[in-house]
């Protein structure tokens, strides 16, 4: 039961969704920070953020694992047509499955191995930078959205470089970045309306970090450094911006 809850929390607070959560909070509680975006267009813009920062990177990861998924589909189809057990089907195609798995860029969607994370992380970083460049012409480089997205991209780059040598908790990085943004806005601009969202994000951070530890996805050191990295980068950049 607890394992299922931990998986659910990790999914709901997945790093790919955090940029959407950030802008949803800004649009709802402090729309003055998003003056470059007309208020009537904020819902559509939020959907755009979700697609650009969440769905498309997720699809990229799925595509990188597509050869293995395709072979698994063939396995299921063979089992259905021949009416054989799953064990026999696996045995008959074990060589192909092992070969495809070895040559796949990622072994599973959890990216549990450090080496699996490097290419997806760098690809997501490049994509985030591209999003900033594409939208900067309409919003301006000094808009909060561009500054926030560049911070996300820079944080992603730092995480990617760290991952070349060491595994760090990206869940902790992401949720702590959200805390850093909200805390700096609260302290510098006295946006008291962010007090409740800040408290909720801190509580959410505790849940997601505990979940990662419970699932043995990370060590306490990986979670701690992830939290520190995300918070420092987002707090310093947003403090400077505000």
Q: Judge whether 219 lies within some domain.
A: yes
Q: Judge whether 108 lies within some domain.
A: no
Q: Judge whether 213 lies within some domain.
A: yes
Q: What is the pLDDT of residue 84?
A: 52
DSSP H stretches of helix in 16-143? 18-29, 42-50, 56-64, 66-82, 86-92, 94-103, 114-139
**In the numeric block, which tokens belong to residue 106?**
């990622």
Q: What is the pLDDT of residue 192?
A: 82
Say whether pLDDT at 88 is over 80.
no
Q: Judge whether 210 lies within some domain.
A: yes
Say whether pLDDT at 102 is over 70.
no
Alpha-carbon distance of 240 to 224, in angstroms, equals: 24
Query: How many other β-carbons are positioned within 10 Å of the β-carbon of residue 77?
Result: 11
Q: How confident is the model at residue 173 (pLDDT cuts 50, 70, 90)?
A: very high
Say whether pLDDT at 81 is over 80.
no
Say whether pLDDT at 240 is over 90.
no
Q: What is the pLDDT of residue 234?
A: 92
pTM, rounded to two decimals:
0.81
**In the numeric block, which tokens belong to residue 15?**
């790093």
Q: How confident is the model at residue 26 (pLDDT cuts 50, 70, 90)?
A: confident
What proportion of the chain, given as a percentage, has pLDDT over 70?
78
Tell me the per-residue pLDDT of 174-211, one tens digit each, with 9 for 90 and over: 999 999 999 988 888 777 888 999 999 999 999 999 99
φ/ψ bin of 140: left (φ > 0), alpha (ψ from -120 to 50), beta (otherwise): left
Q: Judge whether 62 lies within some domain.
A: no
How large is the average pLDDT for residues 74-85?
Answer: 53
Number of domains in the chain: 1
Question: What domain range includes position 188?
Answer: 2-41+115-241
Q: Which of 8-12, 35-39, 82-86, 150-154 has the lowest mean pLDDT?
A: 82-86
Q: Judge whether 90 lies within some domain.
A: no
Q: Judge whether 105 lies within some domain.
A: no
Burial of 131 (0-12, 13-18, 19+ CB in 10 A): buried
Measured on CA atoms in the order 72, 77, 78, 83, is the torsion positive or negative? positive
Q: Which of 44-58, 72-86, 187-201 has the lowest mean pLDDT?
A: 72-86
Q: What is the pLDDT of residue 42?
A: 80
How large is the average pLDDT for residues 130-145?
Answer: 78
Q: Judge whether 57 lies within some domain.
A: no
């Amino acid at each position: 039961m607890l394992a299922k809850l931990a998986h659910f929390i990790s999914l709901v607070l997945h790093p790919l969704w955090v940029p959407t959560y950030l802008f949803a909070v800004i649009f709802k509680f402090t729309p003055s920070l998003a003056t470059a975006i007309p208020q009537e267009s904020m819902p559509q813009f939020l959907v755009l953020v979700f697609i650009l920062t969440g769905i498309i990177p997720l699809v990229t990861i799925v595509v990188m694992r597509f050869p293995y998924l395709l072979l698994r589909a063939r396995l299921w189809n063979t089992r259905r047509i021949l009416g054989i057990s799953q064990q026999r089907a696996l045995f008959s195609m074990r060589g192909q499955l092992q070969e495809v798995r070895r040559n796949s860029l990622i072994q599973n969607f959890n990216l549990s191995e450090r080496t699996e994370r490097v290419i997806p992380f760098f690809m997501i970083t490049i994509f985030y930078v591209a999003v900033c460049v594409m939208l900067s012409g309409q919003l301006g480089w000094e808009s909060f959205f561009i500054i926030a997205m560049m911070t996300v991209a820079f944080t992603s780059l730092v995480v990617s470089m760290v991952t070349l040598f060491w595994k760090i908790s990206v869940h902790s990085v992401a949720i702590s970045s959200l805390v850093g943004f909200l805390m700096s806005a609260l302290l510098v601009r006295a946006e008291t309306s962010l007090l409740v969202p800040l408290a909720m994000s801190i509580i959410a951070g505790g849940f997601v970090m505990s979940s990662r530890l419970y699932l043995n996805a990370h060590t306490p050191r990986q979670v701690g450094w992830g939290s520190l990295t995300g918070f420092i980068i987002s707090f310093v950049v947003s403090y400077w911006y505000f």
